[in-house]
Amino acid sequence: MRYYLAVLVLAALWPWTTSADVPPVKQPALGTVTLQQAERQTRQAEEEYHRGLQFAEGNGVPQDYVRAAEFYASAAEKGHVAAQYDLAYLYENGLGVRRDLSQAAKWYRKAALQGDAEAQNNLGALYATGRGVPRDDSEAAHWYRLAAEQDDPEATSNLGIMFFEGRGVERDVIQAFELIRKAAERGYPAAQNNLGLMYANGQPMERDYIWAYAWLDIAADQLSGPEVIRDQIASEMTADDITRARVLSAMKRQQILHRINESK
């Protein structure tokens, strides 16, 4: 049976310098932001972002995504990366604003260009599916790779799927397996599910129902569906093999939990 895969300089003035010798203070050009102005703007953006977060979470105020979007937008315009990401998320999901995937892509891109890994992953996903931007697998793989380089597990998994399917990159099932396994080890449930399916299908390694069962069993902790395939696989396994698979899944759960706790 085959199973399918479901980013001051100080001027030293000599004591004998006269006022006539002192050069005039250079005034900032029009449009130039002084250090003090930049610091004030940064503080204001941070305050606006946290105010927006209060409304988004209903923390001490009634939950109000419209007000959240207003505060996020103001902070995002000032370059606040978390506000840019959260504003994009609201646009993507139509929370407090009219759903607008092109706006979502715009703000994910701004956050992604500042190095936000989750924004890089989400922008990659928009390119991979052609939502809000023209579909472009190469761009999707590019943004997934940047986020994966920051150890974002979802992006690592997504990049693995791109390698598995040969989308935006040259097909490489070995690389796909390594990336998906890395994401699975970091606790990403979709990667755990797909890793189990790869073991079940024997791609790229030999078919191994014990490891397939173990990873699907772990994925089933957070997803609905892996347990169905796990149980189908179990019908082709011996009782001893099922016991070994359960021991492996319990061991892996502890390793993953330990790794997650260490990263906090």
Task: Note the pLDDT of residue 264.
Answer: 77
Query: How many whole angstroms separate alpha carbon 196 and alpha carbon 211?
Result: 7
Helices (H) and strands (E) in the chain, counts: 12, 0
Output the pLDDT for position 29: 53
Domains located in the chain, CATH noted: 40-99 (no CATH), 115-186 (1.25.40.10), 189-264 (no CATH)
Q: Tell me the per-residue pLDDT of 79-111, one tens digit each, with 9 for 90 and over.
A: 999 999 999 999 999 999 999 999 999 999 999
| Confidence (pLDDT) at 17 | 32
Q: Output the pLDDT for position 34.
A: 86
Question: What residue ranges of the chain have pLDDT lower than 70?
Answer: 1-33
Determine the length of the chain: 264
3-state helix, strand, coil in the chain (%, to 5): 65, 0, 35
Instruction: For the chain, state the CA radius of gyration.
Output: 26
pLDDT the model gives residue 33: 65
